[in-house]
Amino acid sequence: MTPSPGHRAPRTLASTVGGLVLTAVAAACGTTGAPAEEAGETSPESTPHGYVEGAEEAAEPQPRLVLADEDGQVQVLDLVTEETTDLDPLPDPVSLTGDGRFAHLSDGEQTRVLDTGAWTVDHGDHSHYYRAPVEDLGEVPVPGPTRVFADTTRTVLSGEGETLVLDRSALEDGEVETAGPENTAPGSLLAPFRGFLVHVGENGTVEVLDEEGERAEEFGKTCEAPQDSATTRSGLFLTCDHGALEVTESEEGFSATSVPHPEDTGAGERAETLHHRPHASTVAAPAGDEGVWVLESGADEWNRIDLPDTVAATAIGEGGPVLALTGNGRLHALDPETGEERSSTDLLGTVDPDHPPVIEADAGRTYVNDAEEGLVYEIDHDDDLRVARELETGPTPHFMVRTGY
């Protein structure tokens, strides 16, 4: 084949120079005004907001995995290049979460924030993909295990008795800064949603707070004992004692729809933690260890799939399967509506109850960690759960999270 003439150099998020020309002119003229005053301060001021040193745009998604073992050895694995980056260990970790770009490794006292250097900017009709070096941004005083909820403006870390709202653009600049309510009551939940914060009070009231923390909307519906939240392309799901609450935004403002569990649902079978391919409009939640709950954005009821001994589950959405792992190490691809098994495969020899595997999905591939073998399986979930790659990991993958979305 002929070499393609249009080969493009990696697009760099470079600072601009254009503005400096006129600044110099203004200064030469002795004109008063901001540009002249700032002229002497040179480059830092002329660096555009959002500039990331060393970041470059890529033609396609740049997924990475963060892997940690129970001793706290941490590694970032680039799924495109298979390159690895080792980070300082954090002894005795209890949880590892992610928000698309940043990963959060917690022990019983604090949480370390890692910039995994891979992310996506979604422009609706198309997306842009970026890659940058991995950075350790240090610790914040949030004791694990933590959950993380985020949008493009803020990341909320919710740990044992402590919740911290972090400024996302500061994080992108490598700075850890808070951006929101300092104190939230135990039993409450804060989830960023389209530049606002959805706040579920300890008494179950649900409200939307604006950037200043002022109430923008309060709903008549409640969410007692909030457990988890997940953002889809259409809205935000919360899991509550009674089932789910879906918060959506339209031109008329915010609204909330309640989706209760069926009446005969036992306490141990409620949907608590939500899992899905990021942004997909379908979420899955283990129904205790009895099966999987599936909920579609805009639906008014849950779909329940019975699958004894379910350990982990996630939803691909948009016609893709619900994936569930059972205690015998078998991975199942289930029809999200009928629950019918499309395919299944024996994947893991054993499932470690202390470090249950997770299922992390993107559009084309799904990742499952096998701590016993020291491997991560890359699964083609649209092709009979074919194992596309077996990826050897540095640390034993007791904990795993995917970033780059």
Partner 1 sequence: MPTPAHRRSSAAALALVFALSGCTADGDAQEHVVVTTNILGDVTENVLGGRAEVTVLMPPGADPHSFEISAQEAALLESASLIVHNGLGLEEGVGHHVTAAEEAGVPTLEVGAHVDPLDYTSDEDEGRPDPHFWTDPQRMITAVDLIAEAGAEEIDGADNARAEAEGYREQVEELDTWMAERFETLPEERRALVTNHHVFGYLAERYGFEVIGAVVPSGTTLASPSSSDLADLAEAVDRAGVEAVFVDSSQPDRLARAMAEEAGTEVEVVSLFSESLTPPGGGAETYSEMMRANTDAIVDALAEDQG
Residues at the interface with partner 1 (CB under 8 A) = 1-2, 4-9, 11-26, 28-31, 33-35, 38, 45-51, 57-63, 79-80, 82, 121, 123-126, 128, 362, 364-365, 378, 380, 382-383, 386, 388-389
- CA distances (Å), origin 380, targets 91, 362, 377: 34, 10, 10
Location of structure tokens 């889809």 = 232
Least Å distance, CB 394 to partner 1, is: 19
Least Å distance, CB 141 to partner 1, is: 32
Burial 124-158 (b: 16+ CB within 10 A, else e): eeeeebbbbebbebebbebbbbbbbbbbebbbbbb
φ/ψ of 27, rounded to 5, equals -65, -40
Closest listed residue to residue 390, CA positions, set 64, 79, 71: 79
What is the DSSP-derived secondary structure letter of residue 288? T
Q: Which is nearer to partner 1, 79 or 334 (CB)?
A: 79
Residue 343: CA count within 13 A, CB half-sphere = 13
- CA distances (Å), origin 78, targets 86, 367, 394: 12, 13, 13
**Residue 119, SS3?**
strand
Least Å distance, CB 44 to partner 1, is: 10
Q: Are strands 386-392 and 56-58 parallel, antiparallel or unpaired?
A: unpaired
Q: Which is nearer to partner 1, 279 or 355 (CB)?
A: 279
The tokens describing 78, both together, are 């680039």
Least Å distance, CB 367 to partner 1, is: 9
Q: Which is nearer to partner 1, 100 or 180 (CB)?
A: 100
Closest listed residue to residue 226, CA positions, set 247, 205, 249: 205
Least Å distance, CB 114 to partner 1, is: 20
Q: Which is nearer to partner 1, 37 or 218 (CB)?
A: 37
Q: Which is nearer to partner 1, 98 or 226 (CB)?
A: 98
Least Å distance, CB 139 to partner 1, is: 30
- CA distances (Å), origin 366, targets 4, 68, 95, 302, 400: 32, 18, 20, 24, 12
Q: Which is nearer to partner 1, 11 or 215 (CB)?
A: 11
Least Å distance, CB 362 to partner 1, is: 8
Least Å distance, CB 221 to partner 1, is: 31
Location of structure tokens 């830092």 = 44
Q: Which is nearer to partner 1, 20 or 209 (CB)?
A: 20
Q: Which is nearer to partner 1, 52 or 140 (CB)?
A: 52
Q: Which is nearer to partner 1, 17 or 185 (CB)?
A: 17
Least Å distance, CB 245 to partner 1, is: 27
Where does residue 31 fall: left (phi above 0), alpha (psi -120 to 50 degrees), or beta otherwise?
beta
Least Å distance, CB 222 to partner 1, is: 35
Amino acid identity of residue 122, one-letter, is: D
Burial 259-290 (b: 16+ CB within 10 A, else e): bebeeebeeebbbbebbbbbbbbbbbbbbbeb
Q: Which is nearer to partner 1, 58 or 176 (CB)?
A: 58
Q: Which is nearer to partner 1, 3 or 220 (CB)?
A: 3
Rounded to whole angstroms, the Cα distance separating 312 from 309 reads 9
Least Å distance, CB 129 to partner 1, is: 9
The rounded radius of gyration (Å) of the Cα atoms in the chain is: 23
Residue 381: CA count within 13 A, CB half-sphere = 28
